[in-house]
Amino acid sequence: MNFDMQRISEVTALATTILGFIGGLVLYFKPTLLVNANHSLDKWYSTRKQLKSFEIMRETDSFYFKYNKVFGTIMLIGTFYLLYIFFTELKSFTPMIKATPGSQLFLFWDISLNAFRYFVIIFSIAGTPVWLLLIFSPFTLQRLNEYMNRWISSRMWLMKFDEMHYSVDGFVIKNHKIIGTLVVLTSLLLFLVAVL
């Protein structure tokens, strides 16, 4: 089934504009309706439970050092294979993307895939000394590992996202006529732009 992306975008923009217009009118004339709807929708889902497993330190070094030659060799072969592919076969993703029929997101895919290619190349080159140390001098790598194995918890960084912030709701309800008018006028302008 062939979808016309431009048509889908137009319909989505039009539907969003109409919903914005209705929402603006409701906000202007009956802000209590939005307050009640907002209270019923204001359910807080904390990320703490989902992210807790990432906060637990898992010791895997003993496995890699036990089978250092096998693991190091596999990783080194994989690294060289990736570098060979990216330097000979896949010098750029651009021709592949151009060959894809109807690629409206050409620039996005071109930048994303080529950035991914450079990311893999840089990390493959940076990882090569690590795999060589793992094969030939695991004790040196172990000493480096003891220094570099520092646990940085994301809990403090993400704590702000685990709090409810009502200030925006209060501001909107307090200035409901101004914001309602702005939403209606913006929706009308967008509607005219979409139709004309």
Identify the three-state secondary structure at position 88: helix
pLDDT tens for each residue of the chain, 196 residues long: 445 666 777 777 788 888 888 888 888 888 888 777 776 666 666 666 777 777 777 777 888 888 999 999 999 999 999 999 888 887 777 776 676 665 566 777 778 888 888 999 999 999 999 999 999 998 998 888 877 777 666 666 666 666 666 666 778 778 888 988 998 898 888 877 766 6
pTM for the complete prediction? 0.49
The span from the CA of 137 to the CA of 61, in Å, is 15
Q: Determine contact, residues 191/18, Cβ cutoff 8 Å.
A: yes
User: What residue ranges do the domains of the chain occupy?
Assistant: 1-45+166-196, 58-150
